[in-house]
Structure 1
Amino acid sequence: MNAWNDVRSAKEDANICIQRNIYTHDDNIVGVEDCLYLNVYTPSLPKNEHKTIEKNYPVMIWFHGGGWVTGAGHSQFYSPKFLLDHDVILVTVNFRLGPLGFLSTEDMISPGNQGMKDQSQSIRWVNENIAAFGGDRDRVTIFGESAGGASVHYHMMSPLSRGLIHRGISESGTALCPWVLTRPGLAVMQAKRLGEFLNCPTTNSLALVECLREKKAVEIIATDRKFQVFDYDPMIPFRPVIEPNHPGAFLNKEPAESIKNGDMADIPWMTGFNSHEGAIKVAGLYGLKNGKYVKQLNDQFMDLAPMTLMYEHTCPKNYLLDVSKKIRDFYLNDKQIDESTKFDVIDMYSDAWFNVGADMAIKDHLNIFSSPVFYYYFAYKGSASFSTIFGDSTRDYGVSHADELQYLFPVGEQLFKDTPLSKDDHKIIDIMTKLWFNFAKTGNPTPVVDEQLPIKWKPVRTNALEYLHIEYPQNISMSKYLLKERMDFWASIPHRAGVKMSKRTSSQIQDEL
Structure 2
Amino acid sequence: QPRLIKLCISIDSMILLASLAILGVSYSALGDPEVTVSQGKMVGETLLSRDGREYSAFQRIPYAEPPVAELRFRAPKPAKSWDGVLNATIVGPSCYQTAYLLYQDGLLGQEDCLYLNVYTPDINASYPVMVYVHGGAFTHGWPGTPIKPSYFMDEDVVIVTLTYRLGILGFLSFEDDVIPGNYGIKDQVLALEWVKNEIKNFGGNPDLITVFGISAGAASSHYLCSISKSKDLLKGCISQSGVAGTIWSLHTPGDAKQMAVQLTNKLGCDKNSGLEVLTCLQAQPLESFITTTDVEHITYLPIPVLEKPSNTAVITEWPTGNTDFPWIVGTVANEGLLITEYIKDFATTLEKIGFYLAGDVLIKQALHLSGNVVGKLLKIKERFFEWKDFFNLLADYERFFTEAFFEYPILKEMMRHNGPKYFYRFQYTGGPSLWEQASNKTLKIDGVCHGDDASYYFNLSNYYTPEGWPGPKDILLSKTLVKSWVHFATHQVPYIEGVEWESFGDSASYVHITNDGILTENFTNYEEIVDFWNNILS
Change (3 A) 1:419 1:352: farther
Structure 1 residue 22, shift from structure 2 partner:
4.5
Higher fraction of strand: 2
Native 8 Å contact 2:412 2:530 kept in 1: no
Unaligned runs of 5+ in 1: 46-52, 498-513
Equivalent position of 2:491 in the other structure:
442
Aligned residues: 458
Corresponding residue of 1:242: 306
Q: Which residue of 2 aligns with 1:188?
A: 257
* Match in the other structure for 1:390: 438
Equivalent position amino acid for 1:154 in 2? Y
Give, in whole Å, the separation in 2 of the partners of 1:202 and 1:400: 44
CA 1:210–1:83 in structure 2 vs 1: closer, same or farther (change >3 Å)? same
Q: Comparing both chains, which one has the higher relative contact order based on Cα–Cα distances under 8 Å and sequence gaps of 6 or more?
A: 1
Aligned match of 2:222:
153
User: 2: CA distance between counterparts of 1:391 and 1:223?
Assistant: 26
* Cα separation, partners in 2 of 1:402 and 1:7, compared to 1, 3 Å: same
> Residues 372 and 430 (structure 1 numbering): CA distance in 2 closer, same or farther, change over 3 Å?
same
- Which amino acid in structure 1 is aligned with residue 478 of structure 2? I
Residue 326 of structure 1: aligned partner: 379
Which residue of the partner structure matches residue 311 of structure 1? 367
In structure 2, how many angstroms separate the alpha carbons of the residues matched to 1:16 and 1:482? 42
Is the radius of gyration larger for structure 1 or structure 2? 2
What are the superposed Cα offsets for residues 417-441 of structure 1, whole Å, 9 maximum, x if unpaired?
7563122211210111011111111
- Report what 1:271 is aligned to: 329
Match of 1:467 in 2: 510
Task: State whether residues 305 and 324 of structure 1, in contact with CA within 8 Å, keep that contact through their aligned partners in structure 2.
Answer: no
1:103 aligns with 2:172: yes
User: 8 Å contact 1:283–1:397 — kept in the other structure?
Assistant: no
Match of 1:298 among 354, 363, 369: 354
**CA distance, structure 1, for counterparts of residue 207 and residue 466 of structure 2:** 38
Matches within 5 A, 1:218-257: 218-225=287-294, 232-235=296-299, 237-255=301-319
For the Cα contact (< 8 Å) 1:155–1:161, is it kept in 2?
Answer: yes
Which ranges of structure 2 fall in alignment gaps of 5 or more residues? 1-65, 67-79
RMSD (Å) for aligned C-alpha atoms: 2.2
TM-score, with length taken from structure 1? 0.84
Taking a change above 3 Å as real, the CA distance of residues 139 and 354 of structure 1, as seen in their structure-2 partners, is same
The alpha-carbon distance between structure 1 residues 337 and 31, as it changes in their structure 2 partners (threshold 3 A), is farther
Q: Distance in 2 between matches of 1:457 and 1:303?
A: 41
1:305-364 superposed Cα distances (whole Å, 9 cap, x missing partner): 3455x321xx42x3223222211121114x156113332221111111111110101111
Q: Does 1:36 align with 2:114?
A: yes
Q: Given residue 251 of structure 1, which amino acid in structure 2 is its aligned partner?
A: I
- Aligned-pair identity (%): 28
Letter in 2 for 1:143: F
Encode CA deviations 1:19-67: one digit per residue, 9 max, x unaligned: 015556643111100100000000044xxxxxxx22x200000000001
Aligned residue for 1:82, secondary structure, equals: helix
Q: Summarize the Cα distance change of 1:214–1:397 in structure 2 as closer, same or farther, 3 Å threshold.
A: farther
- Separation (CA, whole Å) in 2 of partners of 1:425 and 1:245: 47
User: Is 1:135 aligned to 2:204, yes or no?
Assistant: yes
Shift of 1:207: 2.5
Is the CA contact (8 Å cut-off) linking 1:62 and 1:144 kept in structure 2? yes
Q: Distance in 2 between matches of 1:281 and 1:392?
A: 15
Work out the CA distance in 1 between the residues paired with 2:302 and 2:534.
29
Q: Distance in 2 between matches of 1:138 and 1:82?
A: 23
Q: What's 1:507 paired with?
A: none
How far apart are the structure 2 equivalents of 1:379 and 1:224? Answer: 35
CA deviation string 1:110-163 (max 9, x = no partner): 111100000000100000000000100010000011011001111122111021
How big is the shift at 1:415? Answer: 2.9
Number of the residue aligned with 1:504: none
CA gap of 1:289–1:487, structure 2 versus 1, over 3 A, is closer
Residue 413 (structure 1) shift: 3.8
Contact 2:425–2:511 (Cα < 8 Å) also in 1: yes
Contact 1:105 1:191 in 2 (8 A): yes
